[in-house]
Chains A and B, each alone.
Chain A
Amino acid sequence: MATTQDDLSLTFAALADPTRRAILARLAQGEATVKELAEPFALSLPGVSKHLKVLQRAGLISQGRKAQWRPCRLEPAPLHAVDDWVDRYRHLWEERFDRLDEYLRELQQEENDGPDDPPSAHDGDPHGRPA
């Protein structure tokens, strides 16, 4: 998806406000009307509408047609330009698998080292050799 410098600035500006981020987080759970979005913030409808305009200009939400009852919907595409989530997922899994890889090597090293251990201080030897 082609993203201009201006698009990214719009997205960043839109996200750089905690109320707008909270609105987006709410929309990430499903559509909501302007009234429903205003409720948690004790903002007036014009107040929340200003935030919605910024989000709409950045292409982060779309709005249906009927005034205050318009359902707003999250449009995630611009967020993908900000941070490819697959990369973040990949990073998580690489870290995990790196750790697994190290652990598996450790386990095999322990198994290899076992029979060559020097005789321990206590009597008897787990492998049956004379102490």
Chain B
Amino acid sequence: MTVTRTDDPPELVMERAFAAPRALVWRAFTEPERVARWWAPRPWTTPICRIDLRPGGEWRYCMRGPNGEESWGKATYLEIVPPERLVFTDEFTDADGNRNEELPTLHETVTFVEHDGATTVTFRSRYASVADRDRVAAMGMIEGFGMALDQLAEELAAA
């Protein structure tokens, strides 16, 4: 997988090829019970995943972590061109679907290109501004550092 970061526009682009025909990859991205099989990184799961696949329709999901922690997301489809392209906005919400104001909304474009039976998926994540992106990065880092310290403290206490 390649990850490319640009500042103008402020984007992260993830690209990877899969040994599968495009029609199947498209289904894995657009059918809710299929999306739920892979969307959350291990050991997280996606116990809730609903998709209304049309422009203006929503994809609502909940990822659950090993300690019961939850992360809810809501995507709103802007463009759907089967089996080539999906464009949607993506935001963090609470369990009721209210947007988390502290985290920026992302603009996502996913394209699917087939070649010799393999499909290259390009997932382009765009922030509204470099400042937005840096804010998310900083918050993630601050949280991650805090968690690392907590974990260290636990390990020291157990030793």
Listed in ascending order, the chain A residues whose CB lies under 8 Å from chain B are 15-16, 18, 21, 24-25, 28-29, 74, 76, 79-80, 82-83, 85-86, 88-97, 99-105, 107-108
CB <8 Å contact, B1 and A93: yes
| Given the contacts A15-B145, A82-B145, A108-B24, A76 and B14 also touching, CB distance less than 8 Å | no
| Given the contacts A21-B142, A93-B3, A99-B37, A85 and B137 also touching, CB distance less than 8 Å | yes
| Given the contacts A28-B139, A97-B14, A108-B20, A103 and B38 also touching, CB distance less than 8 Å | yes
B63 CB → nearest A CB, Å: 10
Among B28, B121, B135, B142, which residue has the most Cβ atoms of chain A within 10 A?
Answer: B142
Choose one: B20, B123, B135, B142; the contact of A15 (CB below 8 Å): B142
Residue of B nearest to A25 (CB): B142
Tell me if B34 is interfacial: C-beta within 8 Å of chain A.
yes
Tell me if B9 is interfacial: C-beta within 8 Å of chain A.
no
Residue of A nearest to B12 (CB): A89
In the bound complex, CA of A25 to CA of B149 (Å) = 16
CB <8 Å contact, B14 and A93: yes
| Given the contacts A90-B1, A97-B14, A104-B24, A79 and B142 also touching, CB distance less than 8 Å | yes
| Given the contacts A86-B5, A93-B1, A104-B20, A99 and B138 also touching, CB distance less than 8 Å | no
Choose one: B19, B37, B142; the contact of A28 (CB below 8 Å): B142
Instruction: Report A-chain residues with C-beta under 8 Å of the C-beta of B82.
Output: none
Cβ < 8 Å to A, chain B residues 87-126: 102, 121, 123
Instruction: Report B-chain residues with C-beta under 8 Å of the C-beta of A90.
Output: 1, 3, 14
| Given the contacts A100-B28, A108-B24, A24 and B142 also touching, CB distance less than 8 Å | yes
Instruction: Report B-chain residues with C-beta under 8 Å of the C-beta of A99.
Output: 37-42
Tell me if B56 is interfacial: C-beta within 8 Å of chain A.
no
CB <8 Å contact, B137 and A79: yes
Tell me if B134 is interfacial: C-beta within 8 Å of chain A.
yes
Residue of B nearest to A96 (CB): B41
Residue of A nearest to B150 (CB): A18
Given pairs A99-B37, A101-B18, A108-B24, 17 additional interface contacts (CB within 8 A)? A15-B142, A15-B146, A29-B102, A76-B138, A76-B141, A79-B138, A82-B141, A85-B137, A86-B5, A90-B14, A92-B41, A95-B41, A97-B14, A103-B37, A104-B18, A104-B19, A104-B20
